[in-house]
Structure 1
C-alpha cells in the first residue's frame, strides 16, 4: 500500500515510518492527529473506534500466544497492556506529540506530552489504520507497537485489578457483585474528571472513586471498598 505522502508534513511522514504503515488516505492520519482544541474535525470519533480495535487486536494476539490461559487470566493480561500509561509510553516512543495538531492553549500547557492526550491520539491512530487498511493490517501494527510489552508478559506476575479482586471476594461469600454508578463528569471533553460510586447493597457499603477516565474512577472506588472490607 502506497500513501500519498505529498499531503503529509515531514513530522507526519516520519511518524508513518515509525508506525510501519503507509496510509492510502492521508486525511485519516491528519484527523487522527488533530485535537479538538485545533479543529472541529478532530480525532475523538477515531479514538472511540480505536479503543475497541486495540482491545480486539490485543485480545486476538493474547488468545494465540497463551492457549492454556482461561478467560479471566487473559482479561488481566489485556488490562495490563491496554491502559493509559502504557498507551502514552508507546505514543512517546512513536514521537506522536511532535505531529499533534493542538490549539494554542493546549500547546502552551504542554498538551503534546500529556498522558491522556497521547493515549487518546494513539487510539485514534489505531482506529485510522483500521479504517484505512482493515483488521489484518491494524493487528500487525498493534503487535509491532506493543512487541516489547507482549514479550515481557508473564501471567504469573500480573496482579488482579481492584475491580476483579473485589468481585471475586464477594462471589466467594455468595454476595451480589458491586454496582458502579457515574455520579459526575466534569471538565473539558479532552480533560475530564469522573466520579463513580461503588455500592455493595448486602453489606451496606458505598465508596467513591475519582479519575481521568470512568474506568480509572471505578478502579479507585473498588480499591476503597477493598480497604473498608479489610478494616476490622
Structure 2
C-alpha cells in the first residue's frame, strides 16, 4: 500500500508537574487533578497551529523527587524533596541530582511543552526552564540534552535561590513565559520571595490570591491559567543564544 508523504503527528503534548517539599508525584497529582481539564482544553486549542503534536492528546507527568524527605527516612515513607538547605543562603545539597534527574526525564520521556511546579517544585521548574534556554552547562550543573526550551512554566509559590553561586541561573533573565501564582497570606514562601523570582523573568504574568501555601482552584485562577497557556503557546520561540556561567 502506498502511504501519503505526510503523516499526522502522533506525539502527545506533555506537561511536567513538580511537587513541593516533602510531597510526592502521587500526592501532587491528587492536589492538582482539577487543573488538568483546563490545561488540556487550552493546549488542544492552541496545538491546532502546531503540527508537532497530536491534536487530541495531552499527558501530565508527575515524577517524585529523587531525594528522601528525611535522610533517615523509614521504609514506607514516600515523601520526597528536591534538595536540602536554606533557600535564601545555602548551596542546596542534592540539587544537582534533582536537576540531572528531571533533565533525564525530559530527554527520555519528552518532548514536554511546559512545566507546572509548586513551592520547591516551582523553584526547580524555573531553574530547569532557564537551563533549557541556556542549553549548556551552567553554575556547576553539567548536562547534555537535546530537549528544546519549554513553551511555558507555571510557578505556584515559587522562589529564587539566594546563594550567589546560583546568580547566573537567573541572568540573563529567563525568557520563557512564566505564570507566577502568589499566595498573599503564605507564611512558608512569603510573597516577597516569589516577587524576587519575578524580577528575573522577562515574560512574567502575575496572579495573586488571598490564601496560604496551596495551589488555588477558584474560577478566577483557572480562567487566568487558561488565558496564560493560550497566550504562551501562541508566542514565537526565542532563538537567542546564552552564555555559560
Is TM (by shorter chain) over 0.5? no
TM-score normalised by length of structure 1 = 0.22
Please identify which structure carries the higher strand content: 2
Bigger radius of gyration among the two: 1
Please identify which structure carries the higher helix content: 1
